[in-house]
Structure 1
Amino acid sequence: MAASNTPQYTVPGLTTAEGEEVIGLLRLRLHALNDLALTLKHVHWNVVGPHFIAVHEMLDPQVEAVRGMVDALAERIATLGGSPTGTPGALVNERTWDDYAIGRAQAIEHLGALDVVYSGIIKDHREAVAATDATDPVTQDLLIEHLRSLELFQWFVRAHLESAGGKLSTSREDRETEAGRAAAEQARDQP
């Protein structure tokens, strides 16, 4: 039986309609973070090249932190009276983004693509923060806590993509594969 977004109860101070709205927001955030954890692990397994070990080892703590975020979101959904769904089928059926498009590739290509991935996650998390401002400050606080780490992780990625002059190789790209190519081109062009 599929999980329902319509709670029979919710936390004190919220109506069930408000609880349902927040659950809907969190459901997509749950899918996005589950997808991010899988994508980070995919990159961890498929990164190659001279910066392999640095990127390989940088990603595992990010995976663990994102998995913790997933658990916190699922527990918040349950607290609000909803039923969290973490199955692959639900994620694929309900997501609004494409699957990660890069397989085995140079570290710089994956980092360029991950910059785009993180930008999308952070943008959508910020929208959920804004959407919960008036109704649910507890959920908003949880999402802000996630943003602190997500933005830090993106900075770790971007440190590899920035030129000495401060130019971010992926600044004009909004698709993973193009961002990966742009990052690789800038790396080739640097002395």
Structure 2
Amino acid sequence: MATNFDPSTLRYTVPGMSDDDAKRVVALLQERLHAANDLHLTLKHVHWNVVGPHFIAVHEMLDPQVDAVRGFADDLAERIATLGASPIGTPGVLVKERTWDEYSIGRATTQEHLSALDLVYQGVISSYRDGIKELDELDLVTQDMFISQTEQLELFHWFVRAHLEDKGGALSTEGATTEAEAVASAGDS
């Protein structure tokens, strides 16, 4: 029984794609797989820990996002397998390889969680968009998947931001670059 995975090891790849291109595409997919797994767990964590006057609205808003992002993870993993590599979905590898900090907000108000989620979504969407640019030369099929998922993530981000926006269009999290700054801005809304 094999216990160590090397996602860059290909058994084969799809017709018309070089092994080198497939390895890079697999690396991009694996990064997004880690992000999707982390995001759906973070969204569920928020779902369980949000409190306050708008609890039910946010609680119920998050479940469809969790389900969609779980589906993204499955699609990403299956694309990795289609390209001839092994997707890695274990928590230990995710934690070891992620390039972002752990979500640190526990039981908190809707505004605090949504402020922190604004930054989470900014990071996830930005990394998807970077991948879209790179995939333009590597694999249009995977690029199409990234574009489709980004469209949904941007919609979910808008749902979050609608709670942080004032009637003039200003976001309470404007200028926040850390989770702590974003959460601190929740007191201003």
| RMSD of Structure 2 on Structure 1 (CA) | 0.7
What displacement does 1:13 show?
1.2
Tell me which amino acid in the other structure corresponds to 1:185. G
TM-score (norm 1): 0.96
Work out whether residues 8 and 16 of structure 1, in 8 Å CA contact, stay in contact via their aligned partners in 2: no
Question: Within 1, Cα distance between the matches of 2:174 and 2:28?
Answer: 28
> How many residue pairs are counted as aligned between the two chains?
186
The answer to whether the 8 A contact 1:44-1:59 is kept is: yes
- Is residue 137 of structure 1 aligned with residue 123 of structure 2? no
Q: How does 1:107-122 map to 2 (within 5 A)?
A: 107-122=110-125
The residue type paired with residue 131 of structure 1 is E
State whether residues 18 and 135 of structure 1, in contact with CA within 8 Å, keep that contact through their aligned partners in structure 2: yes
Tell me what 1:77 maps to: 80
Cα distance between partner residues in 2 of 1:149 and 1:64: 12
**Maintained 8 Å contact 1:132/1:139:** yes
Gaps of 5+ in 1: none
Offset of residue 78 of structure 1: 0.3
DSSP-derived class of the 1:132 partner? helix
Q: By how many angstroms is 1:8 displaced? A: 2.7
> How far did residue 185 of structure 1 move?
2.3
Match in the other structure for 2:187: 185
Q: How many angstroms apart in 1 are the aligned matches of 2:174 and 2:136? A: 29
Hey, which bits of structure 1, 4+ residues long, moved more than 2 A?
none
- Structure 1 CA distance for aligned equivalents of residues 85 and 179 of structure 2: 33
Measure the CA separation in 1 of the matches of 2:136 and 2:179: 31
Q: Secondary structure at the match of 1:133?
A: helix
Cα offset for 1:135? 1.4
Letter in 1 for 2:50: V
Partner of 1:123 in structure 2?
126
What is the identity percentage for the equivalent residue pairs of Structure 1 and Structure 2? 61
Residue segments in structure 2 that go unaligned for 5+ positions in a row: none
